[in-house]
Amino acid sequence: MTTLRKPYHFLLLISALLSTAHAQQRGEIPDYKVFGEAQNQHEAKQIARLVSDYQSSWKELNAKKLIALHTSDTELTNAFARMFQDSKTLETFLENRLFPQFENMFSETQTLTIKPISLRYLGNDAAVIHLYTEFQTDPSKPEIIRRTHFHLVAQQIGSTWKIAHTSIMDPR
């Protein structure tokens, strides 16, 4: 019985390796994609506005504007696995630690530009938004680009959309 399984496992492995399934190569960003549909045009515009405001808040390094987009009990895990579980603590971190560091890193020629990868509607009151940014961390090594991914879980609260959860990934 054992001898019959080994050739079967080998063939299964070979067929998996030779399959035509396509995955992006490391470093490759797929075209923007929307999964599911908004309930209506108003909802689609609200989520687009949330994304736009999120992008501009980061570009401006504006902690107050960014926090206003979050629920009061928002959760965020940053790229270094540091976790925050409310908007006040997160705002303090952004204002006093993260954004001052970023201000020193960026110049007039380089700003933090966040671009969308995908939007996934989950029912009628939640959505997952996948964004990313690329930037240089060392001006003496312009060929080294750092990419960071943002995964946002947006929640509809009444007639507004807010960010309830964020996970930031920094593959190095």
- Give all domains of the chain, ordered by start, each with its CATH number: 31-169 (3.10.450.50)
pLDDT in tens, 100-150: 887 776 654 456 789 999 999 998 899 999 999 887 767 777 666 778 899
Q: What is the tens place of the pLDDT at every residue in 41-97?
A: 999 999 999 999 999 999 899 999 999 999 999 999 988 889 999 999 999 999 999
pLDDT band (50, 70, 90) for residue 19: very low
Per-residue pLDDT of 8-17, as tens digits, reads: 444 444 444 4
Are the C-beta atoms of residues 90 and 76 closer than 8 Å to each other? Answer: yes
List alpha helices for the chain, DSSP H: 2-17, 41-60, 63-67, 87-93, 99-105
Give the pTM.
0.79
